[in-house]
Chain A
Amino acid sequence: MAAPVNSADIQPRQVANKSNKKALLDAIRMTLDVQSAAVRLNTQTFNRNRYAATALIGDYNELKDRARQIKEAAIANLPELLRRLEASVQANGGHFYLAKTAAAANQYIRDVLVRHQVKRVVKGKSITSEEIKLNHAIEAAGIAVAETDLAEFILQVADEQPSHIIAPALHYSRERITKLFKRKFTTDLPLDTGEELTRFAREKLREQFIAADAGISGANLIAADSGSLMLVESEGNIRMTMTLPSLHIAIAGIEKVVPSRTDFGPFLELLPASGTGQPLTSYVSILHPPLQSPPFVAPGGTAKPREFHLVLIDNGRSRMREDPVLHEALYCIRCSACLNSCANFETVGGHAFGGETYSGGIGGSWEAGTGTLMNARFSELCTACSRCVPQCPVRIDIPWLNENLRQRMNLEQPPSVAKSAFGAMTGSAEQDRVAPLQKQFFGNYHSFGKWGTRFAALANASMHLPGARGLMESALGVDCRRTLPPFPKKTWEQLYHEERGVKPGTIEPGVVMLADVFTNYGAPERGMAAIRVLRAIGLDVALSPAMPDGRAAMSQGMMETAQRQARALAPVLKRYLDEGRKIVVLEPSVLAMLRFDFKHLLGDPGTQTLLAQNSFEPLEVLWGVAQELRLDLAQIFAARRCPHGTRLFYHSHCQQRTCNSATQTVEVLRAAGFDVVTSSVECCGMAGSFGYKREYYELSMAVGEDLFAQVRRAEEGSGPRTLVASGISCHEQLSAGLGREVFHPAELLASTL
């Protein structure tokens, strides 16, 4: 273990580059200590507001489809669009420059400023300018740069990198801003409210706006047909930057170009709603600079004609465009929905879950694309919980990008005899045997399950042998403070086949339960409970052979292994479909494999669609049948017969929510007569194997704290509730955090039979 670091001593800049793992771990410690409260408050507010704002867009899903189509076509046709854009900008009377590299962009901009003898530049928020480190380049030429977005202003004063892609200083609480300003400026003002701080900054920056002789802005979108820019903001500083000085330079990545101004439509509504959760931000400018109105002339200044330069930056984007995985990241419109809906991000923010410029789930692909692969190491904090996927306005499968980055990082690792022997023994595909032992351990959970259950007594006892857990921790990185599910004496498969005298079900079609490896080796009694519950309403239930589905391997970036497993499982399941059965999957992360992830792995769209459309969560099926046949669930599963009580706290699984298969569980439980309070967190923090890992234990528990607090609030004054959760890792997290037993909804229902 690294020597303990006092988190107060770590400065954000020191941990911006995460190409070594220590920086990542230090950053987690620092953010948990210093920034977490502000990050949580701000991201969770954005997240709540986004749900509300997008619900108000009547055709939200169609609009997302349209946005996706526009971006796909634009990126496919990018070279042509850039040519058209160049002509449009020139026709408007502006200058166009396409910079291959960051250095070329900086050089060009510096030259323009020097040519105009610029002394003072005002800048609007532009994350692309952070990427190329434009300020350094300008300041090196002796030109002063004033960041005028208040968040950027804070960062400039503090000398820190952004922690969020649209609210770059959201890791600062009001109190910390006051402290910072008091330290950096001489002022007698109290500065202890948001209003006072804003007024203070505004007055400082007003002077800059009046005196500035050039303005630099970014652009959210650019239309090739007309050279129009779309700029979204709330403070008014971007408008000032573009309107007041005579010289305006706009910089943007080449991926911001769309064919025409009409294409702005869907983004205009999706971007603010998905970001801050406003229907529109205060100002959305649609401009074709150079503006025709005269520039502002400072008192005593001389009038100059307007001049406009559009600087588009490649800096790795053309390479991303050719990349079979990373090209998806070019569709990103930087709305930040994927950051705000991510439980890990909500807890640490972009100084831990981010690199030098970009942060959050999508940030890894951007750091890898515009920098080097190892800059994307922080993308390990993506647990593939999938909550960001339905939030993304351009439908990027963000976890998939991160799993691929993980694979690439695995492949950069030197091979070793130990790793490859371990991999061969546990079932890693050839290529994945370079992955670290910890990754291969979690990626091959089914192999351990298989041996463990065969020698259950021995295996469980050995976990308790002095030193055994220490060995697990030092060799495999499994945190000592976690309990791995004990190996049962009999697997789900064995229990199922030992049953005698089961009457066939009466309703058609019957179902097959997928014996997922987590339930089969980790919680067979839960699987049996689900079978009993489905039978209780008359369904005929078969059980598939226990086979890995690829989830565990994929989450460790062992893509070959995952693909092999998925391709072995699909035909087995397909045979049940051919028999006329529906597929029922207990573990939501496995259901999500069939619904979504197989599309990346099977290479057989026909089978994939069939599997996706015909697999369900058990209570989803139950609720469907109950509705159709008008079953009286209060009769069949009378809650009052439940030995665990009728007052419940239910936490649905993150992937279950992404599958839209969570509300049905609540419906069923309520129909049976239970009193149900539900959680409203995005993820419990365990997220499959993530929370088991030694290095992420603290983060995982910090994420869980939101959920534990919700349970405590629900019980305040009115007494305890039985804890219920649908995911196997959520069980471990809840029982670790609250020290109580946790049930699966099917277990509760089965207990009433």
Chain B
Amino acid sequence: MQQLMALESSVLQFAEAAVKAAATVEILERSPATLRDAILRAVGDATRILFAPPHELPVALFSEFAADSRVVANPTPDEMVHSAAGVTEAFAGVASTGSVCVDVGYERTGVVSLLAPLQIAVVAAETIVPKPRDLFRSDILDGKGLKRDFVFVTGPSATADMGPLVRGVHGPHKLHIIVVR
């Protein structure tokens, strides 16, 4: 019970911080159908969706979504540059900053999470750690935090170089996070 409450509060802290960083957050029960519906809702009428299969979350969780006709399994370079959304898992989240941690060591996760205007990251509630520094500790997430190559993603890309704050620069213009429990 206590564990459950701690989980609840870290998810809430995470969601609050992520929204502050201009991301949108949705919290779902873990099921292939709900996940598919949530992702498809978020992408709207996009005709092409990039997807990098997960390595931590079960592949089966994404099975229904991956079967959608708009998901491009093996994108050509041109498709990679011209897709509306990119979907990846995040192997961890950070409660204090609302960041999601995306492993960019695999096949295409780096580009899928970077090139499309809308980034969707799916993160498991129990992998949310309190602070960024926890990702360098071997005693957290069973040592899985010590990924070889990864990125803390906090909100969409942004700049203040052109005067006022503008969201959406070279990287995604929007970040949608789906927390699964």
A binding-site residues for B, Cβ under 8 Å:
42, 56, 148-151, 154, 167, 169-170, 172-175, 177, 193-195, 197-198, 201-202, 205-206, 209-210, 234-237, 239-240, 243-244, 261-262, 264-266, 268-269, 276, 278-288, 291-294, 296-299, 301
Write the nearest CB–CB distance from A292 to chain B, whole angstroms.
Answer: 5
Is the CB of B1 closer than 8 A to any CB of chain A?
Answer: no
Given contacts A167-B160, A235-B157, A292-B148, 4 further A-B contacts (CB under 8 A): A150-B161, A198-B159, A243-B110, A280-B94
Is the CB of B29 closer than 8 A to any CB of chain A?
Answer: no
A151 to B161, CA, bound (A): 5
Write the nearest CB–CB distance from B20 to chain A, whole angstroms.
Answer: 8
Write the nearest CB–CB distance from A20 to chain B, whole angstroms.
Answer: 31
Q: In the complex the two chains form, is A296's CB within 8 Å of B77's CB?
A: yes
Q: In the complex the two chains form, is B159's CB within 8 Å of A174's CB?
A: no
A237 to B110, CA, bound (A): 13
Write the nearest CB–CB distance from A428 to chain B, whole angstroms.
Answer: 47
Q: In the complex the two chains form, is B77's CB within 8 Å of A297's CB?
A: yes
A297: chain B residues at CB < 8 Å are 77
Closest to B108 in A: A293
A174 to B76, CA, bound (A): 38
The 9 nearest A-B residue pairs measured at CB: A236-B171, A174-B163, A265-B133, A150-B161, A236-B170, A235-B169, A236-B157, A151-B161, A197-B162
A278: chain B residues at CB < 8 Å are 21, 154
Main SS class of interface, B: loop
Is the CB of B54 closer than 8 A to any CB of chain A?
Answer: no
B150: chain A residues at CB < 8 Å are 285-286
A42 to B96, CA, bound (A): 26
A167 CB contact (under 8 Å) in B94, B98, B131, B161: B161
Write the nearest CB–CB distance from A408 to chain B, whole angstroms.
Answer: 36
Q: In the complex the two chains form, is A202's CB within 8 Å of B169's CB?
A: yes
Q: In the complex the two chains form, is A243's CB within 8 Å of B114's CB?
A: yes
Closest to A149 in B: B161
Q: In the complex the two chains form, is A291's CB within 8 Å of B110's CB?
A: yes
A228 to B111, CA, bound (A): 20
Write the nearest CB–CB distance from A481 to chain B, whole angstroms.
Answer: 35
A119 to B111, CA, bound (A): 23
B155: chain A residues at CB < 8 Å are 282
Write the nearest CB–CB distance from A198 to chain B, whole angstroms.
Answer: 5
Q: In the complex the two chains form, is A237's CB within 8 Å of B160's CB?
A: no
Contact mask for chain B residues 8-27; partner A; CB cutoff 8 A; 1 contact, 0 none: 00000000010001000000
Q: In the complex the two chains form, is B133's CB within 8 Å of A266's CB?
A: yes
Assess A234 versus B159: contact at CB under 8 Å? Given A262-B136, A280-B132.
Answer: yes
A291 to B156, CA, bound (A): 23
B135: chain A residues at CB < 8 Å are 286
Is the CB of B32 closer than 8 A to any CB of chain A?
Answer: no
A193 to B165, CA, bound (A): 11
A265: chain B residues at CB < 8 Å are 132-133, 136
Assess A285 versus B104: contact at CB under 8 Å? Given A265-B133, A279-B154.
Answer: yes
Q: In the complex the two chains form, is A194's CB within 8 Å of B164's CB?
A: yes
Q: In the complex the two chains form, is B168's CB within 8 Å of A283's CB?
A: no
Is the CB of B80 closer than 8 A to any CB of chain A?
Answer: yes
Give the size of the chain B interface in residues (CB under 8 angstroms). Answer: 53
B96: chain A residues at CB < 8 Å are 56, 279
Write the nearest CB–CB distance from B147 to chain A, whole angstroms.
Answer: 8
Write the nearest CB–CB distance from A451 to chain B, whole angstroms.
Answer: 54
Q: In the complex the two chains form, is A268's CB within 8 Å of B109's CB?
A: no
- The 19 sampled A-B contact pairs (Cβ below 8 Å) are A56-B96, A149-B161, A167-B161, A174-B163, A177-B162, A236-B171, A236-B172, A239-B110, A240-B170, A262-B136, A276-B160, A279-B98, A279-B154, A282-B171, A283-B151, A283-B157, A285-B151, A291-B105, A293-B106
B149 CB contact (under 8 Å) in A174, A205, A210, A286: A286
Q: In the complex the two chains form, is B162's CB within 8 Å of A194's CB?
A: yes
Q: In the complex the two chains form, is B131's CB within 8 Å of A269's CB?
A: yes
B158: chain A residues at CB < 8 Å are 234-235, 282
Q: In the complex the two chains form, is A296's CB within 8 Å of B80's CB?
A: yes
A298 CB contact (under 8 Å) in B77, B94, B157, B161: B77
Closest to A298 in B: B77
A234: chain B residues at CB < 8 Å are 157-159, 169
Interface-centre pick from A240, A297, A298 (highest chain B CB count, 10 A): A240
A293 CB contact (under 8 Å) in B110, B131, B151: B110
Q: In the complex the two chains form, is B133's CB within 8 Å of A150's CB?
A: no
Q: In the complex the two chains form, is A282's CB within 8 Å of B154's CB?
A: yes
Assess A198 versus B166: contact at CB under 8 Å? Given A167-B161, A236-B172, A287-B104.
Answer: yes
Write the nearest CB–CB distance from B33 to chain A, whole angstroms.
Answer: 30
Write the nearest CB–CB distance from A217 to chain B, whole angstroms.
Answer: 13
Q: In the complex the two chains form, is B162's CB within 8 Å of A296's CB?
A: no
A261 CB contact (under 8 Å) in B94, B104, B136: B136
Closest to A279 in B: B97
Q: In the complex the two chains form, is A268's CB within 8 Å of B133's CB?
A: yes
Interface-centre pick from A148, A244, A280 (highest chain B CB count, 10 A): A280
A276: chain B residues at CB < 8 Å are 160
Q: In the complex the two chains form, is A294's CB within 8 Å of B107's CB?
A: yes
Q: In the complex the two chains form, is B109's CB within 8 Å of A293's CB?
A: yes
Assess A236 versus B114: contact at CB under 8 Å? Given A177-B163, A279-B154.
Answer: yes
Assess A243 versus B104: contact at CB under 8 Å? Given A296-B77, A299-B78.
Answer: yes
Q: In the complex the two chains form, is B111's CB within 8 Å of A296's CB?
A: yes
Is the CB of B83 closer than 8 A to any CB of chain A?
Answer: no
Is the CB of B99 closer than 8 A to any CB of chain A?
Answer: yes
Q: In the complex the two chains form, is B105's CB within 8 Å of A293's CB?
A: yes
Q: In the complex the two chains form, is B151's CB within 8 Å of A205's CB?
A: no
A640 to B109, CA, bound (A): 70
Closest to B165 in A: A194
B110: chain A residues at CB < 8 Å are 239, 243, 291, 293
Q: In the complex the two chains form, is A169's CB within 8 Å of B170's CB?
A: no
Is the CB of B81 closer than 8 A to any CB of chain A?
Answer: yes
A148 to B152, CA, bound (A): 21
Interface-centre pick from B21, B132, B155 (highest chain A CB count, 10 A): B132
A702 to B152, CA, bound (A): 41
Is the CB of B153 closer than 8 A to any CB of chain A?
Answer: yes
Q: In the complex the two chains form, is A235's CB within 8 Å of B154's CB?
A: no
Write the nearest CB–CB distance from B37 to chain A, whole angstroms.
Answer: 28
Closest to B105 in A: A292
Assess A283 versus B171: contact at CB under 8 Å? Given A169-B161, A177-B163, A195-B166.
Answer: yes
B161: chain A residues at CB < 8 Å are 149-151, 154, 167, 169-170, 235
Write the nearest CB–CB distance from B129 to chain A, whole angstroms.
Answer: 12
Write the nearest CB–CB distance from A189 to chain B, whole angstroms.
Answer: 13
Write the nearest CB–CB distance from A150 to chain B, whole angstroms.
Answer: 4
Write the nearest CB–CB distance from B41 to chain A, whole angstroms.
Answer: 24
B162: chain A residues at CB < 8 Å are 150, 174, 177, 194, 197-198, 201
A264 to B132, CA, bound (A): 10
